[in-house]
Amino acid sequence: MNHRVEHTIAWRYLFSKKSHNAINIVSGVSAAAVCVVTAAMVCVMSVMNGFGVVIEQMFSHFDPDIRITATNGKYFACDTEAFDQVRQMDGVQIFSETIEETALVEFADKQIPARIKGVDSLFQQLTAIDRILVDGYFCVYDGAFDRAVLGQGLAAQLGISARFVQGMHLYAPKRNHKVNLLRPDESFNQASCFIAGVFAVNQVKYDDQLMLLSLDMAQRLFDYAPHQVTAIELRLQQGVNDKEIKQQIRQTLGDGFAVEDRYEQQSDFFHILRIEKLLTGLLLVFIMLIAVFNIIGSLTMLIIDKQEDIRILSHLGATPSLIRRVFLYEGWLISSLGALLGLVLGLTLCLLQEHLGLLRLGSGTEYVLSAYPVSVEVMDVLLVAAIVLGIGFVAAWIPSRRIKVNA
């Protein structure tokens, strides 16, 4: 007998009527349980991917393609030959200088510490800041007055909007300057500006803490010389290989600089997202392990029911290993059928959610999304299929290996 015979017998056992109806019921329940858990795994992992894509899009409106910072110290000079090579490197479209420090912001009777980011004239082309403005317009210098663009949360804390004509005052300690206890006000640099716009990235680290100013104003406020910056931000041309450009920049600048892409700039967030996805997947795998116990039970009952068939196959010349493989294939067919139906069901639900938004997050304005986002990845689907089929194979192997063939 060959493998084709074993598959044929197993396939007939799967759909044939058993002497005890309970075996059919348990087999159906086993396949249904595998189907439901498989569909749940596909849906949950796709939703997790969807949230990751949404958050990545939010960050992409504000974060540059590549960010260069010093590994030692806070600031560095960018008017060097090495940075000139980076500026002229093939694939680099925009080279922008930035300064980021902390200062005290005062408006009316409110004082709040904020992260101040000084940006040059290329910042508007570097990012998609115009897409995330919720009030006013982007401008950090109008030719006469310094202006600022604030995060939505920071503007709310200060009680200010783009329509206000009253100016804000900023205070930052002077660098390399001892505090004068008699005149502490002389130990701080002071600057004033007017609000031009409000942006919303829908991330607390930006919306509640960040204020954009002109690079010149930031240099004056924090005592930075021309071409002294805390970071260089790059926008790459479309179609270029990010990894190759990043590697070239690292080789050009040396070990004294950190070169980070968008994922590395938000490494903490994406690391947490990957951990959440992993833990969710492990929980569903544990549920799958519970579900496949039904396969062990149904296959054990089938082996008991088919003792007469086992003796007949043995008399016809079937070896014990062949008979065991028949029931191994039988148990695996149950899990495979459930896995196939689960994959189809899961992908269908994901497709419906993507186009119709069946599961809603809420109808209020406090939600960034109205429905759960979905992003199906082929590798996730293949991984789910491999896990389910692997667990199903083990569940079928356990009872089949204990079959005893009596002549």
Same-domain pairing of 241 and 278: no
Same-domain pairing of 276 and 199: no
Q: How many helices and strands (H and E) does the chain possess?
A: 14, 12
Domain-embedded: residue 15: yes
Same-domain pairing of 250 and 113: yes
Phi, psi of 192 (to 5 degrees): -130, 150
Contacts of 238 (CB under 8 A, 6+ apart): none
User: Residue 102, Cβ neighbours under 10 Å: how many?
Assistant: 12
Same-domain pairing of 234 and 250: yes
The parent domain of residue 388 ranges over 3-59+270-400
**pLDDT for residue 1:** 44
Rounded average pLDDT per 10-residue block, the chain, 407 residues: 59 56 69 88 90 79 90 90 92 93 92 94 89 92 91 93 89 79 75 93 88 94 92 90 89 91 84 86 85 76 70 70 75 84 93 85 62 88 90 81 64
Same-domain pairing of 94 and 78: yes
Same-domain pairing of 109 and 231: yes
Side chain identity at 300, as an amino acid letter?
A: T
Same-domain pairing of 317 and 342: yes
Contacts of 226 (CB under 8 A, 6+ apart): 79, 219
The helix/strand/coil state of 318 is: coil
d(CA 222, CA 177): 12
d(CA 4, CA 13): 14
25 membership: H or E segment, kind and range = helix 21-60
Same-domain pairing of 71 and 53: no
Token representation of residue 390:
């692997």
Residue 75's nearest CA partner among 258, 224, 233 is 224
Domain end (from 210, 245, 262): 262
Domain-embedded: residue 324: yes
| Residue 368 DSSP one-character state | S
The answer to whether the CB of 148 falls within 8 A of the CB of 213 is yes
Same-domain pairing of 70 and 200: yes
**pLDDT for residue 300:** 75
Domain-embedded: residue 405: no
The helix/strand/coil state of 73 is: coil
Q: How many independent structural domains does the chain possess?
A: 2
Same-domain pairing of 7 and 27: yes
The answer to whether the CB of 199 falls within 8 A of the CB of 132 is yes
Same-domain pairing of 257 and 275: no
Which of 367-372's residues contact partners 24+ apart within 8 Å by CB, and which partners? 368/54, 368/202, 369/54, 372/47, 372/50
Task: List helix spans (H) across 65-199.
Answer: 81-87, 123-126, 152-158
Side chain identity at 347, as an amino acid letter?
A: L
DSSP bridge partners of 170 = 105, 191
Burial label for 65, CB within 10 Å (0-12, 13-18, 19+), is: buried
**pLDDT for residue 14:** 59
d(CA 229, CA 100): 8
Same-domain pairing of 41 and 188: no
**pLDDT for residue 203:** 82
**pLDDT for residue 336:** 85
